[in-house]
Chain A
């Protein structure tokens, strides 16, 4: 099999190999440049952009942390992300449970509302959402983002969870019912444990989107350092530090760390989640 594969990919594949690895280099070089520059001064960066840093001092990280209040921003991002995730699950698990088990016309209507919602780009309603925040008195708060983000995640989360819940055999529920389990108990002790992979997918996908969310956080939470998230704080480094690339890159690297840790630890699962989450209709 292996050798067959190799003969299949003969010499005519050389241009393909070259092009693909060229693109891979284009993906890696900026990241390498970022990580390397985070440990350098401007002079070093300009003189030898691709050289390894001469020392691994954390000075740039300290400056980035300080000048853009990144520490606080990370805490804010973490708060918004965690609470939004909890709320997303609290809303989507019961909804998926209901939709997966129900065969009524209303349920299938609701389900198609969610699957169509997948096509509505979040950006479309930025300004009306801003009005909503103002009208509810939650403008310039993280609370509004915590309430709002789960709504944006609802279509995808519900659709993914419904698919998982449909695979739970009816007999499991019937057995539990015989033992006198309530609907809630069925959800809690039968469906939820059996759908953990689906829940993990939803968590991972939404962790990425919530942590990386930028435009709404910028408009609704605003620039107040006490409230703003890390994605909003990051671009301010550009103006604060002028062209101190060392600090700019150090700040960027800092914001990537949480995502990077999760990706490395859960690589397989994360890749599956991203692939399954992108196209669901």
Chain B
């Protein structure tokens, strides 16, 4: 099948020398699509298989690894929807996404534009912006732990400038725990995203910006009215990725910094998946939330794509 199509497609594409000896000596295709097989199998077994399994486990009653398993149908969905913790997680995740992703993308876009103008010191800035992209999640979490713990950097700084009364146990206080996690997303997200925008803006022809400047447009205008439409698609893709990273990646930050607490004040959906599977051992519940998370990701992805599609 492949043999036929690839040979046919090939002669159709490569016209100039139809009677070249090489072509004549090539009865089978020169492709070897089979070489793609190991990678594909690997990918299906380790990535797609487990992904499908989420949906299966979500329909099971499975109260722990070594417990008997039985079919539950939609019972898990009912349990999840009746659980106030789930709704806390939904609202925490919603707040996290609505605050972190737009702030990150807008700031990163402006920062990327700034760097792309090559102001003095832009090389140093560029070097520094890569930092959050290089360090691991546990290391980032340690940075925030050291900064935000009761006798950490932030409280030390507040005391030093005479605002000691504002000091708080940031990570352990229900009113600030989620905000700390969002701050971590934004702190780490802006830098690397800005580098991506800067790289993309660097390939926009300079004349476009210069023409706008000659017409008397300020940088603010040039940035949003001239450059933004040019790289709009790219901004859309980056927003999609940041959305996914924030939605799914928050489990690690929560696990390392707040464990979802105090209470459920910083429990996000992806942490709930982790917590129900590996701490509470309620596997059907966990994977039902997993399905929900997956669908949220899908819907969000399509919504963002729609929002960024050119509509003129």
A residues in contact (CB < 8 Å) with B: 5, 8-9, 12-13, 16-17, 20-21, 23-24, 26-31, 33-34, 37, 46, 49, 91-92, 94-95, 97-99, 101-107, 110, 113-114, 117, 119-132, 134, 147-148, 150-152, 154-155, 158, 170, 173-174, 177-178, 183, 187, 208, 211-215, 219, 231-232, 234-235, 238, 243, 245, 248-249, 252, 255-256, 259-260, 263, 267, 270-271, 274-275, 278-279, 281
Q: Is the CB of B196 within 8 A of A128?
A: no
Bound-state CA distance A278–B129 (Å) is 15
B156 partner residues in chain A, CB cutoff 8 A: 46, 49
B213 partner residues in chain A, CB cutoff 8 A: 8
A110 partner residues in chain B, CB cutoff 8 A: 33, 36, 40
Bound-state CA distance A260–B301 (Å) is 34
A213 partner residues in chain B, CB cutoff 8 A: 136
Q: Is the CB of A129 within 8 A of B50?
A: yes
**A9-B137 contact in complex given A98-B32, A110-B40, A275-B199, C-beta closer than 8 Å:** no
Leading 3 A-B pairs by shortest Cβ distance? A151-B46, A212-B136, A128-B50
B135 partner residues in chain A, CB cutoff 8 A: 212, 256, 259
> Residue B192 at the A interface, CB < 8 A?
yes
A13 partner residues in chain B, CB cutoff 8 A: 119, 219
B247 partner residues in chain A, CB cutoff 8 A: 121
Bound-state CA distance A151–B245 (Å) is 18
B297 partner residues in chain A, CB cutoff 8 A: 121, 124
Q: Is the CB of A174 within 8 A of B36?
A: no
Q: Is the CB of B54 within 8 A of A148?
A: no
> Residue B277 at the A interface, CB < 8 A?
yes
> How far apart are A123's CB and chain B's nearest CB, in angstroms?
4
Q: Is the CB of B38 within 8 A of A271?
A: no
> How far apart are B293's CB and chain A's nearest CB, in angstroms?
7
Bound-state CA distance A27–B127 (Å) is 11
**A94-B36 contact in complex given A125-B53, A128-B57, C-beta closer than 8 Å:** yes
Bound-state CA distance A8–B48 (Å) is 51
**A121-B249 contact in complex given A128-B54, A154-B39, C-beta closer than 8 Å:** yes
Bound-state CA distance A267–B117 (Å) is 21
Q: Is the CB of A124 within 8 A of B51?
A: yes
**A28-B119 contact in complex given A107-B33, A132-B46, A271-B195, C-beta closer than 8 Å:** no
Q: Is the CB of B274 within 8 A of A107?
A: no
**A231-B138 contact in complex given A28-B128, A124-B51, C-beta closer than 8 Å:** yes
- The main secondary structure of chain A at its interface with chain B is helix
Bound-state CA distance A135–B274 (Å) is 20
**A102-B132 contact in complex given A5-B118, A30-B153, A128-B53, C-beta closer than 8 Å:** no
B118 partner residues in chain A, CB cutoff 8 A: 5
Q: Is the CB of A120 within 8 A of B283?
A: no
A214 partner residues in chain B, CB cutoff 8 A: 136-138, 252
Bound-state CA distance A255–B137 (Å) is 11
Contact of A97 among B35, B187, B249 (CB under 8 A): B35
Contact of B45 among A8, A151, A267, A270 (CB under 8 A): A151
> Residue B294 at the A interface, CB < 8 A?
yes
A-B residue pairs in contact (CB < 8 Å), sample of 15: A9-B119, A23-B190, A49-B156, A92-B39, A94-B36, A101-B30, A104-B5, A131-B50, A131-B57, A134-B65, A232-B138, A234-B136, A235-B142, A235-B256, A252-B139
**A16-B127 contact in complex given A98-B36, A121-B249, C-beta closer than 8 Å:** no
Interface residues of B in 209-266 (CB under 8 A from A): 213, 218-219, 234, 237-238, 240-241, 244-245, 247-249, 251-252, 255-256
Contact of B6 among A104, A114, A123, A274 (CB under 8 A): A104
Q: Is the CB of A248 within 8 A of B146?
A: yes
Name the residue in A24, A104, A215, A235 with the highest tally of chain B Cβ atoms < 10 Å from its Cβ.
A104
> Residue B14 at the A interface, CB < 8 A?
yes
Interface residues of B in 155-175 (CB under 8 A from A): 156-157
> Residue B205 at the A interface, CB < 8 A?
no
Bound-state CA distance A232–B204 (Å) is 42
B240 partner residues in chain A, CB cutoff 8 A: 119
Q: Is the CB of B130 within 8 A of A120?
A: no
Bound-state CA distance A238–B257 (Å) is 11
Q: Is the CB of A113 within 8 A of B54?
A: no
Q: Is the CB of A91 within 8 A of B39?
A: yes
Closest to A105 in B: B5
